[in-house]
Amino acid sequence: MPRSYSAALPIAHVVLRILIVLNWLYGLAIIALLVVLPHEQWIMVAFKIPPSPDAARLIMGLRAIAMLGLAAVPLHYIVLKRLLAMVETVRAGDPFVAANAQRLQTIAWALVAQQILSLIIGVIVRVISTPAHPVNIDAGFSVNGWLAVILTFVLARVFAEGALMRDDLEGTV
C-alpha cells in the first residue's frame, strides 16, 4: 500500500471530526442570526438600508435564506457522519460492506437535498437582490454539485456490487 494512503486516512478522520464540530457552530451562528434578524431596525441601521418596500423584502429574503441555511445543517451532518463511518471501515481494512453502500446512498440523497436548497436560495437571492442592495451569495444551479450527486449514486452501486463480490469471495475455498 502506498505511503500516501496510510497518511490520508488519519488526516481524513481528523478533518471530518473538525468539520462536524464546525457544522454545529455554523448552525449555532445561523440560529444567532435568526434571533437578531427580527430586529429590522437594527439590521437596517447596520446595513445602512433606508426604509422602503425593497428593504422589507430584503429582510424577509435574508430570513428565508437563514432558515434554509439552518435546514442544511442536519444534511451536512448526515454526509459527514457517514463519511467518517466509511473512513473507519477503510482503516479497519474492510470497506466493501453493504453498510457502506447504504451510507453512500444516504449521502447521495443528502447531496440532492443540498442542491435543491441551493437552488431555492439562488431563486430567493435573485428576487431580493436589487442594484441598490446587491446580495452576493454563492447559490443556485451548480454543475459540479449535481455531478457529485450522480457520482455518489454510481459509487453507491459500485460499493453494493463490491460488497456482493466480497461476500462471494469469502465463501470461496
Partner 1 sequence: MAIAVKLDDLLYARRMTLTELAERVGITIVNLSILKTGKARAIRFSTLEAICAALSCQPGDILEYLPDVAAEAEAA
Residue numbers at the binding site for partner 1 (CB under 8 A): 168, 171-173
List Cβ neighbours of 132 (8 Å cut-off, separation of 6 or more).
Answer: 54
Residues 28 and 36: their CA atoms lie apart, in Å, by 12
**Longest distance between any two alpha carbons in the chain, whole Å:** 78
- Residue 9 in contact with residue 89, Cβ under 8 Å? no
- When the beta carbons of 50 and 171 are compared against partner 1, the nearer one is 171
Residue whose grid cell is 453502500: 101
Single-letter code of the amino acid located at 152: T
Angle at 26 between CA 88 and CA 54, to 5 degrees: 145
Closest approach of partner 1 to the CB of residue 166, in Å? 12
List Cβ neighbours of 75 (8 Å cut-off, separation of 6 or more).
Answer: 110, 113, 114, 117
Closest approach of partner 1 to the CB of residue 164, in Å? 11
List Cβ neighbours of 17 (8 Å cut-off, separation of 6 or more).
Answer: 84
- Residue 129 in contact with residue 55, Cβ under 8 Å? no
